[in-house]
Amino acid sequence: MRRRLEQPKPKTVSHSVRSRMAIAKHPLHPMLVVYPVALLSLVLPADLLSLWLEQPFWAQSAYWMNAVGLAVGLLAGVVGTADMFLIRVVRRHVSAWNHFIVAVMVLAVAGMGVWLRAPDPVAAVWPWGVLQSGLLLVLVMVAGWLGGTLSFRHGIGVYGDADNPHEHEADTRPPAE
Ligand code: HEM
């Protein structure tokens, strides 16, 4: 009974891992990824509107969303890669490697889309454009889900617990989920 009373109080904050690529404790990667997530996932709807309405505006919108989504996605990728390689504990998470691999696939398929659409955005829509933007949407959803696992489940890029034992670079425990 006495021993139970002496036990420390449970923590009110979960373990978290500070981002290295941040301004005033605001991580840069989550700020940047909103653009590729939104723009690249809107390429398929724009392609479908282009086929339905037969207006060049939608094919051109699909091209520009693909191109700008790729540009900001590359920047986000550089920042995310820096966080991943500067923080050892991030690399211990299998979901960090899965996120990295799927994110590189997102950028590769977005690059393919720019190559496909740049010469003639309207002619590129059917069938290859729709195939590319459909694949892109699936990959963006998987990359976003895995990124969310890192942030919201493993607390990466979160400034919560100053006593977090996982923050130590010397942590040699086996890979986590
Ligand atoms: C290419 C290399 C990439 C690496 C190494 C990488 C790494 C990371 C890391 C370490 C985090 C945890 C938060 C942080 O440290 O800032 C994260 C979160 C996240 N990443 Fe990436 N990332 C990459 C590219 C991308 C791309 C291209 C996208 C979008 C298509 C993306 C979407 C996300 C999302 C949605 C989160 C959760 C952040 C939130 O919603 O607050 N990542 N990523």
Reported pTM = 0.86
CA of 33 to the centre of ligand 1 (A): 7
Residue 69's closest CA among 98, 42, 105, 101? 42
The dihedrals phi and psi of 117, each to the nearest 5 degrees, come to -90, -25
pLDDT for position 159:
85
CA of 19 to the centre of ligand 1 (A): 11
Greatest Cα pair distance in the chain:
78
Atom of ligand 1 nearest to the CA of 34: 35
List, in order, residues 6 or more apart from 44 with CB less than 8 Å away: 130, 133, 134, 136, 137
pLDDT in tens, 28-78: 999 999 999 999 999 999 999 999 999 999 999 999 999 999 999 999 999
Q: What residue type is assigned to position 101 of the chain?
A: I
Q: Which mutation among 17, 31, 33, 34 tests ligand 1's pocket best, with the greatest number of atoms within 8 A of CB?
A: 33
CB distance 37 to ligand 1 below 6 Å: yes
pLDDT in tens, 125-177: 999 999 999 999 999 999 999 999 999 999 999 987 666 555 544 444 555 66
